[in-house]
A and B are shown apart, each in its own frame.
Chain A
């Protein structure tokens, strides 16, 4: 047993505190298996489906109507796996936050870092940075591998709008993950969070898109607005925003989710 320290001088600046939280959250995130499997599923699924659809598109190119051939967006075709891959990103974002609650660890964590904003945003910064790295790798990999499958119809990174779309794909996956973290911080339960987020991204968008009057509203959902940036070739029936505008709308959703998560975390007892 060590002896009692007598008033150790601690020159901790606020930035030192932030660095400590980041380091701690990094240890947390790298030391649980859910991080590895959710992110690898996201990568594999996105790339796998992207390659598959790209290969199919190449085979069917000759039988496609002329109009479709002319508006073919090879970049977007290679991103076909994003719809499914993003679900793994959602699971990643949800588990990163809710495992604190489902294990009871939240009380240990908040006793160690009582400033709740530092705790939540430290966690989200680390998990978000990891999602950004994985998202970018996924987006570039699925682009290059998808283009390889497309063969003669492929787009190059230097073509107009393509680099923006590929970088945008990485940002899109990151924002999906961070949005899920914000929602999970509000709901705390993994099942509840997934039960709301999965249909939100998988069903609601499609349902709203089915009817003309709700279709316009659907365009402002985070996934629809955000995925606009992944299109390198602009479409005719376009939404009232550009690629970056769409991403901005998605970012607003993310900010709202984070604000809600923070407000509730501050107000609630830790449990």
Chain B
């Protein structure tokens, strides 16, 4: 279990993490979601006692990080796969970590086996591909057989097979009763792995909810309709009290499960329809809507059919 209590980090004027309070529970995968620069990595560094919080507190299974004897046996983390000495072999990298925490040498071979790096264990890490480095980082996290695991964007740069492997690994770790805390900026990724979501934007907590609840609350369903007689269709819909918004390609969208009603309405008025389909907004869209106000680095071009909450963006430079 990881408990954050009003966790705050300021770098000079910049508030990277802003009063974050939440609990990451064991037995499930908790997704830690936020756009670029939201403060995910900073939060994880504070959990590991690497960055000193400006205010607030964080505890792992009830204790501060520096109070842990042999911390790798309590919490294992992968922050940055490339943070290894390139001149050191994978085996020696893991060995020095194991020795620092009194972990038996034999465990190094075990985790190398788990992540599938046995064949390259004696090779220098600088020759590793990103995927191999990622696996080495995961091996280091698993080394102490810890109750709590934390991964910062573990699927970044992995091929589909690697992504599949990581997903299953995280799920199986959670199924064994461990606490699994994993960050991502891809909602679609989290939808496939996480049971619980913690969403942050500009360092602030935006949502702390189960995945199912998030889907129920945020996955907007709507009906999409396209007609060569838009004026008549609009009138008919207006009369029936159905509000629509125009989509970028000239189609109309109505909130809710209204496809059937719209179809009946069009038939009654003799309006030609070229398209009528019930749609489900993707979770990605729901996530973007949720964080729109706090996205720090907007792309210059406001492309795409919708620009959720444009004009509501936070005023940081």
Contact = CB atoms under 8 A, between A and B. Distances in A.
Interface string A105-145: 10111111111000000000000000000000000000000
Contacts of B172: 1
Nearest to B46: A269
B70 A10 contact: yes
Contacts of B177: 4
B51 A269 contact: yes
B50 A269 contact: yes
A83 interface: no
Nearest to B114: A1
A108 B49 contact: no
A189 interface: no
A40 interface: no
B62 to A, nearest CB: 13
A261 to B, nearest CB: 18
B250 interface: no
Contact of B97 (A16, A108, A271): A108
A269 to B, nearest CB: 4
Given A1-B172, A104-B83, A114-B66, A28 B96 contact: yes
Contacts of B176: 1, 3-4
A34 B87 contact: yes
Interface string B42-54: 0001001111100
Nearest to B142: A1
A16 B103 CA distance: 12
Contact of B50 (A8, A12, A270): A270
A213 interface: no
A15 interface: no
B84 A105 contact: yes
Contacts, number: 112
A111 B77 CA distance: 8
Contact of B83 (A5, A12, A24, A108): A108
A270 B96 contact: no
Nearest to A34: B87
Interface residues of B, number: 43
A114 B68 contact: yes
Contacts of A8: 73
Interface in B87-103: 87-89, 92, 95-97, 99-102
B65 interface: yes
Nearest to B67: A114
B147 interface: yes
A103 B145 contact: no
Given A103-B83, A110-B50, A112-B72, A269 B45 contact: yes
Contacts of A21: 100
B69 A17 contact: yes
Nearest to B64: A114
Nearest to B42: A269
A71 interface: no
Given A2-B145, A4-B147, A17-B69, A103 B84 contact: yes
Contacts of A16: 102
Contact of A28 (B70, B88, B101, B110): B88
Nearest to B95: A27
A63 interface: no
17 contacts: A2-B145, A5-B145, A10-B69, A20-B101, A20-B102, A25-B96, A27-B99, A28-B96, A32-B88, A99-B85, A103-B83, A107-B79, A108-B140, A112-B72, A114-B66, A114-B68, A270-B45
Interface of A: 1-5, 8, 10, 12, 16-17, 20-21, 23-25, 27-28, 31-34, 99, 103-105, 107-115, 269-271
Interface of B: 45, 48-52, 65-66, 68-73, 77, 79-80, 82-89, 92, 95-97, 99-102, 110, 114, 140, 145, 147, 172-173, 176-178
Top 7 closest A-B pairs, CB basis? A104-B83, A24-B100, A31-B92, A24-B99, A270-B50, A27-B96, A269-B51
Given A24-B97, A104-B83, A270-B45, 16 more contacts: A1-B176, A2-B145, A12-B70, A24-B100, A27-B95, A28-B92, A31-B96, A34-B87, A105-B85, A107-B48, A107-B79, A110-B48, A112-B71, A112-B97, A114-B65, A269-B45
